[in-house]
Amino acid sequence: MEHLQAFAWLGLALVVGKLIRKRVAFLRNLFMPSSILGGFFLLLLGPEALARLTGGAFAPISERTISVWSGYPGFLINIVFACLFLGKTIPGIRDVWTKAGPQIALSHTIAWGQYVTGLAVTALILIPVFEVEPMFGALIEIGFIGGHGTAAGLGDTFRELGWPQGQDLALGVATVGLIAGVLSGIALVNWGVKKGHARILRDAKQEKEHRESLANDIATIEDDLLLECQDQTDGARTATEDKDERKPANNVIRIESMEPLSFHLAYIGLAIGVGALILTALTWLEKTLLLPLGMPTLFGHVPLFPLAMIGGIVVEKLHHKFFDGHLDRTLVLKIQGGALDLLIVSALASLTLSAIADAWMPLTILILSGIVWTVAAFVWLAPRMLSDYWFERGIGDFGQSLGVTATGLLLMRIVDPKAKTPALESFGYKQLLFEPLVGGGLFTAVSVPLVHSFGLVAMLAATFVITLFWLALGLSLKKKQRSSQ
């Protein structure tokens, strides 16, 4: 009964979040997801907010319900990551690198630089002044690029390492990053238009001004001629749209013996199972070979979800050996989106506000340092690492580096609404060599255990070297492209 009540509350929260977003224009303009609004709605009704305000006299949501919700993120995050590559056509690494090499280098430079920034600020300021945990420095990348899903999914890892507040702080970073990504992204778009860096918007603005000037010059032309031209244009557009609609659909696999939803859920379960087998094997090898040599435990603290992503790639490859046709990517995305919505709501609803309140000052310093690095990396590095249409390409990486992938896509749609540049294609290819490692990938999942096991200084040195590698690689690719032109 307790689980049913907890699930009912989540349903109510999503509906309320949707209504709030519909009614409040400011939140719509921020592109705030309904799941985040619903999560804060439940948080307000729980013992962390309303109960404290009323002195414990009124709290619609009990501690038992909170405990049920706290177990959801660790399960749902595996579904989210198992879906990442299911139903996708996975090209070869060479093709990916050819089409998106510079963008891969830029996104990795920003991500690894967030670790360097966070760990350096933690070592130089936050530990001496506020005596925070060394793992504090990993929260920028976990919260910003990893987002709410990754932050919530690492809850068990934080608890195993004796720092349960880490999940609450990571969720706080993710929330601020999402808002900052949209607000600073819009500001950078306006800056790019003013400076002429946003070429598509600049050309559109010039074209509009030219059309207005031309319209004034030919204002005496008869209206019927203008209408005739408009009719011809509309007819051509309609013919083109009809032609596009007649294109054959993708070769999606047909399933007569099973509900398509059940079939795709089975594949998601298989992907998670393959990931569990990989993690079990790695844990066994570590326990058998490394721990007797005195090495610290690492894979024993690694969560399952990044390996569920690897399991998804394995299952996708095996699918084509036994079945004709592709998995329904649209259905996979719907399952992933539903799991992510429930994950975010349950994670925010079970947030411990006291953990954030106790660390608000070091958390603010950490977040501001992460924002400064990310903005500086976009403004200074993107034009030096990306060739054509650097602004349209780089703004997507910037949005993803502060918020989530959707934030990056949103900003790219603003600066390139009709996808006239290669930015969207490069962004998609980049994900294939980005997400498996950082942004919620394998290294994101092991970053906190690595700091715990090997120390802050060692991790700072390692991430600094990796950042320099990607930076040098990106600059060399740009130089190579210039010489070949």
Distance of CA 470 to the CA centre of its chain: 20
Structure tokens at 138: 């990993």
| pLDDT for residue 203 | 62
Q: Which amino acid is at 307?
A: L
Look up tokens 């609609």; give the residue: 245
pLDDT on residue 167: 92
Q: How far apart are CA 35 and CA 174, in angstroms?
A: 13
Burial of 198 (0-12, 13-18, 19+ CB in 10 A): buried
Question: What are the backbone angles phi and psi of residue 387, rounded to the nearest 5°?
Answer: -90, -100
> For the chain (length 485 residues), average pLDDT per consecutive 10?
87 94 84 85 83 68 86 88 86 84 94 97 96 95 90 90 92 89 88 85 53 44 38 35 40 74 93 95 91 82 86 90 84 91 87 85 96 96 89 91 80 83 85 86 91 94 97 87 59
Q: What is the pLDDT of residue 46?
A: 82
Which residues are CB-contacts of 329 (< 8 A; sequence separation ≥ 6)?
Answer: 86, 87, 88
Distance CA 260, CA 272 (A): 19
Single out the residue of 162, 168, 179, 143 nearest to residue 438, CA to CA: 143
Contact between 173 and 139 (Cβ < 8 Å): yes
Q: Is the pTM of this model over 0.75?
A: yes
What is the residue whose two structure tokens read 């501690």? 63
DSSP state of 325: S
Dist. CA 73–CA 342, nearest whole Å: 8
- The string of DSSP codes covering 224-282 is HHHHHHHHHHHHHHHHHHHHHHTSPPP-BPP-SSS-HHHHHHHHHHHHHHHHHHHHHHH
DSSP per-residue string spanning 58-79: --SS-HHHHHHHHTHHHHHHHH
